[in-house]
Amino acid sequence: MHFQWYPGHMTKAKRQMQEDIKLIDLIIELVDARIPFSSRNPDIDELGKNKARLILMNKADLADEKKTRIWSEYFKAKGYFVVCIDARSKNGMKAIQNEIMEACKEKIERDRRRGIKNRPVRAMVVGIPNVGKSTFINTYAGKACAKTGNKPGVTKGKQWIRLNKNVELLDTPGILWPKFEDQSVGLKLALIGSIKDEILNTDELSIELIKILLSDYPGALQGRYGAVKAEESEDTVAVNIEEGADAVKVLEKIAENRNCRTKGNELDYSKAAALVIDEFRGGKIGRFTIEMPAED
Ligand code: G4P
């Protein structure tokens, strides 16, 4: 599902979220582990300032593990609870229950003092489009519902999914609007495939991607595209894709390596551009995190 945001959308989404937040104890905020800054909308900090927060760094399977740990510490230092997950293959999901209980410890304690026993924690999932909200809810609720004896939901005005005796989840996630008016944020969202390809120039996008990889992950492109099979022979010829190399030249090497050619047998840069972006998004070139926390 791809979204184009207009002021009307944002106002509506914000209003809906303000209403929903009143009903819950905990915000489960999904971010993309490859771009944990650009894939979040900090307005949620204001909207949910009195609620406990669990940040799920999703798609951790595609991100750089070392940098994921740095980001995780960064969010923890801000007072959030953090779990790194891969909602699609269900990795990391086990740790979530415990973190929810930890994040809501104060509320549970407050209830206990007031003599309220066993009132489940109510939570809602929020995040920008494509960050994996539906995948997460399906993975998480699917498993939990099976565990509690196939009771899919409890209806009380809003649809709540009873995950277990301690947690209920609002069944519709809150959609946050991406902040792509900031150029660098927009670029990163485009690179991971969150913004419609049709409104972007794939050739330019691939050049930006190549520049980022050459500087942050020298060797990665060489590793995947550095060996070119010589024509009419089984031999491979090494090409040199190195730090500081010219991005257009690198794209040319990629076109050679993958034999991206037009009908007239010319190198087809656009085909190579689409290929490199596709392979990047699919994790085929490697696992990358393309931004780090700002020093503050
Ligand atoms: P949303 O509700 O926040 O809009 O996101 P959604 O769950 O629809 O997920 C968006 C895309 O991200 C889906 O791919 C989904 O499979 C993928 N995804 C979700 N979680 C993870 C994860 O942890 N790791 C990886 N690698 N991918 C994840 P899609 O291309 O739209 O669909 P499909 O290819 O799965 O059919």
Tens digits of residue pLDDT in 37-83 = 999 998 999 999 999 999 999 999 999 999 999 999 999 999 999 99
In this structure, the answer to whether residues 206 and 156 fall within a common structural domain is: no
- For residue 183, being part of any structural domain is answered with no
Decide whether any atom of ligand 1 lies within 6 Å of the 61 Cβ: yes
Residues 75 and 120 in one domain: yes
In a domain, 133, yes or no: yes
Whether residue 265 sits in one domain with residue 123: no
Residue 149 counted as domain residue: yes
97 three-state secondary structure: helix
Look up the CATH number of the domain holding residue 208: 1.10.1580.10
Does residue 63 sit within a domain? yes
Boundary of a domain, candidates 125, 152, 171? 171
Query: What pLDDT shows up at residue 247?
Result: 92
CA of 60 to the centre of ligand 1 (A): 12
pLDDT of residue 231: 56
Contact 59, 159 (CB under 8 A): no
| Residue 217 to residue 88: CA distance in whole angstroms | 26
Residues of the chain with pLDDT under 70: 1-3, 143-157, 197-199, 227-244, 296
Is the C-beta atom of 178 inside 6 A of ligand 1? no
> In the prediction, which pLDDT does 199 show?
67
Whether residues 235 and 161 fall in one domain: no
Q: In this predicted structure, what is the pLDDT of residue 34?
A: 98
Residue 132 structural domain: 8-171
Measure the N-to-C terminal CA separation of the chain; round to a whole number of Å. 34
Is residue 130 lining ligand 1, measured as CB closer than 6 Å? yes
Q: Ligand 1 pocket, 59 CB below 6 A?
A: yes
What pLDDT does 213 receive?
Answer: 94
Q: Do 129 and 237 lie in a common domain?
A: no
Run of H or E residues at 31: strand 26-32
Task: Note the pLDDT of residue 150.
Answer: 36
Q: Which of 293, 285, 289 is nearest to 60 (CA)?
A: 289
Structure tokens, 83: 């779990």
Is 139 within the bounds of a domain? yes
Pair 93, 215 in one domain: no
If one residue of 62, 135, 136 were mutated to test the ligand 1 pocket, choosing by the most ligand atoms within 8 A of its CB, it would be 135
Is the CB of 32 within 6 Å of ligand 1?
Answer: no
Sign of dihedral through CA atoms 123, 126, 131, 134? positive
Distance (Å) from CA 62 to ligand 1 centroid: 12
Atom of ligand 1 nearest to the CA of 283: 26
pTM of the model: 0.90
Residue 92 in contact with residue 60, Cβ under 8 Å? yes
Residues 33 and 92 in one domain: yes
Task: Give the pLDDT confidence score for residue 135 in this predicted structure.
Answer: 94
Rounded distance, CA 244 to CA 7, Å?
41
Task: Say yes or no: 154 and 227 in one domain.
Answer: no
Question: Helices then strands (H, E): number in the chain?
Answer: 11, 10
Question: What are the DSSP calls for 259-290, one per residue?
Answer: T-B-TTS-B-HHHHHHHHHHHHHTTSS-----
The number of folded domains in the chain is: 2
| Domain identity same for 21 and 116 | yes
